[in-house]
Chains A and B, each alone.
Chain A
Amino acid sequence: MHEMSLCYSLLDTIAVYQRANMDKCVGLVHVKIGPLSGVEPDLLHQAFLTCRTHSIGDQAALQIHTSAIKVRCTLCGKHSRAVVNRIICASCGSWQTELIQGDEFVLQRIEFIPSEISTEPKERQYVR
């Protein structure tokens, strides 16, 4: 399960932005994951719940946005969607394709919240 080490990378990146918002707490973290990134959303979420306590705190929640795979065919030039184990052109069926989208693992944005509301019940503090 490499999601744990990737989660530490996520928390390290968040910590950089938290330094500029010392008077606030991390509320909601938006992450985008492509099907070809090699990152399993559910496992990343579990890792986040385990790791957040001693870094950004229990009030922090993770919202994962998944993206679709999009390719450009190098033969017919058309753009199309693909699925993870059939990365072929939907138009002409060629496997000679270039990936346009679908392998990203990106921290999109962080929502900071005032410190005084950071004591909400834990079960309301994350999003799936």
Chain B
Amino acid sequence: MCGNCGCETPRKIEKPIQQTTNVVEVHANLKSSNDTQAITNRALFDAHDVMVINLMSSPGSGKTRLLEETITALKSQYNMAVIEGDLETENDANRIRRHGVQAEQIATGQGCHLDANMVFKVLGKFNLEKLDVLFIENVGNLICPACFDLGQHLNVILLSVPEGDDKPEKYPVMFRAADVMLISKTDYLQFHDEFNVARAIQSFRKVGNNAPVIEVSSTQSNQLEAWFAYFIETINARDSRSLQERGA
């Protein structure tokens, strides 16, 4: 008890109200309002054969640059569009638009994540009929976005080399949500001896995630090929499933 920070103040233990008269058992999932909208979004995407990919990571881990490189390499094969989530500015959306791809910005103000309703509200600006892939670049944050299903089909999580290889253990809820983890900015490995790829993968496995891990660098040639291959394979697998379901 130092007398300075308030630690000497005993924590108040509150007592419950005793005179209860009516107990109603509920057992309701409290994320259901967002989850219900997310199911609606996903049904809308499926009806238009649009694959939706949610990118999540810390700010500055290379999400927008990865999108730019992916669009440049694959826009001749797929019709792509992007929803950008940021607290402020249209900077990222403008970067995407320079590549001739539609990008709509959601400015969340002080909101720390996108939710299914925000995504639904902006969907009217897209012609889903003409799209193959819709990327959602979530707000840069390793905490809140993991709690909100947007209706996506795939969660891609980036862990950049400068962040350190123990991030999965520090942010387990986020990294548990990953369908694939990209270790980005691998060109920095030569400057960051303390980042060990094997340790990063081990940290990812410790949170119980069995998903693939791909190393990428958006600034070096041929360092995105594994990501492109995964991307194409995932879309093809989804298309095959859709065809089978229709055939059935």
Contact = CB atoms under 8 A, between A and B. Distances in A.
Contacts of A109: 23-27
Contacts of B20: 27-28, 111-113
Contact of B16 (A28, A97, A105): A28
What size tier do the contact residues of chain A reach? 35 or more
Greatest chain A CB density within 10 A among B13, B20, B24 is at B24
A71 B208 contact: yes
A10 interface: yes
Given A88-B208, A97-B208, A106 B30 contact: yes
Contacts, number: 136
A123 B13 CA distance: 10
A99 B30 CA distance: 19
Interface residues of B, number: 42
Contacts of B148: 2
A105 B34 CA distance: 13
B172 A36 contact: yes
Contacts of B30: 6, 9-10, 13, 31, 105-107
Interface string A1-31: 1100110011011000100110010011001
Given A5-B115, A24-B22, A88-B208, A12 B16 contact: no
A6 B31 contact: yes
Interface of B: 12-17, 19-34, 112-113, 115, 143-144, 146-148, 168-170, 172-173, 176, 205-210
